[in-house]
Structure 1
Amino acid sequence: MIDQTWKEMYKAAKEVQNSCKISNHMEAGGIAATVLSASNRIYVGVCVDTACTLGICAERNALFNMITNGEKEIKRVLTIMPNDKNGAQCGACREFMFQLMEKNYRNIEIMMDYEHGKVVTLGELTPNWWL
């Protein structure tokens, strides 16, 4: 369901999504993500892609932004791909969210398809965490 908070998260992600070449070995901004914290604050991040795998996904970038600002609980995650579609986070981002919220990761809402209002929980997306 697309409520006002999802709309604000989508808008915030679109505002920072701006694919650009930084150097011959680095690009950024093709994917943007927003995270809604437990305090209802929206944090943004963009992907940073490098030739040597030292880059970072937009989701973890947004989560680092949240943690930098003193928060540690996630309610929602929204990602916008370069084709303006949404989707599930990669395994590394899911694992980061698991470890961040070990006792309550299952309830994190993930926007899978903004256009159709499809939302799943991280628990539905990844039901069996290795720990």
Structure 2
Amino acid sequence: MKNLEKDTQKLIQAARQAQLNSYAPYSNFRVGSAILADNGKVYAGCNVENAAYPLGQCAEAGAIASMILDGGQKIVKILVASPNEKICPPCGGCRQKIKEFADKNTEILMCDNQGNIQTVDIAGLLPFAFELD
């Protein structure tokens, strides 16, 4: 693995492991995601498709749900692992889900299958986000 900081390496490993468990019989596009939360724990998720397409779940949503279930409240860093040579940015719905648990310091990393990473902050990912107020 490239010379990356330890947290990023953990996220890549967790997201890649989650990717292996992805349920993607319709698209064959297996996505993994991993979150470093404010409690120091890592939470992973994979995409889970459904024949009724809108009922599927994205990898990011699964990771967020795991974080919340375990008591984490904020995303420090989130990584989305693509199954191919292109980065896989979060869909619009997941961008808003990430925003709900992010702050201006949250790092959003998108990784291709070669280990290339692109990083953005929440303002770059979702410039016109809905806000609680």
Shorter-normalised TM range: 0.7 to 0.9
**8 Å contact kept, 2:81–2:110:** no
Q: Compute the displacement of 1:129 (Å).
A: 1.8
1:51 Cα deviation (Å)? 1.3
- Larger fraction in strand: 1
Q: Which residue of structure 2 aligns with residue 42 of structure 1?
A: 42
**Counterparts of 1:66-105 in structure 2 under 5 Å?**
66-83=67-84, 85-101=86-102, 104=103
Q: Would you say 1:15 and 2:17 are equivalent positions?
A: yes
What is the CA-CA distance between 1:39 and the residue it aligns to?
Answer: 1.6
CA contact (8 A) 2:21 2:46 kept: no
Which stretches in structure 2 are left out of the alignment for 5+ residues?
A: none
2:22 and 2:94 map into 1 onto residues whose CA distance is 22
Count of matched residue positions in the alignment of Structure 1 and Structure 2: 126
Query: What root-mean-square deviation, in Å, do the aligned CA atoms of Structure 1 and Structure 2 show?
Result: 2.7
Task: Go from structure 1 to structure 2 and tell me whether the alpha carbon gap of 1:109 and 1:45 turns closer, same or farther (over 3 Å shift).
Answer: same
Aligned 8 A contact 1:107 1:123 in 2: no
Q: 2:82 is matched by which residue type in structure 1?
A: M
For 2:61, the equivalent position in structure 1 comes to 60
Distance 1:21 1:113 in 2: 20
Task: Select between 108-117 and 37-46 the one with higher mean Cα deviation.
Answer: 108-117
Matching residue of 1:110 = 108
5+ unaligned residues in a row in structure 1: which ranges?
A: none
Q: 1:20 to 1:71 in 2, by over 3 A?
A: closer
Cα–Cα, structure 1 residues 73 and 83, in superposed 2: closer, same or farther, change >3 Å?
same
Taking only the aligned residue pairs, the percentage that are identical comes to: 26
Aligned to 1:119: 119
Is the CA contact 1:17–1:29 (under 8 Å) kept in the aligned structure 2?
Answer: no
Output the TM-score relative to the length of structure 2.
0.79
Report the residue type matching 1:58 in the other structure.
Answer: A
Q: Distance in 2 between matches of 1:55 and 1:125?
A: 22
Structure 1 pair 31–21 and aligned structure 2 pair: CA distance change class (3 A): closer
1:65 alignment partner, SS class: helix
One-letter code of the match for 1:56?
Answer: Q
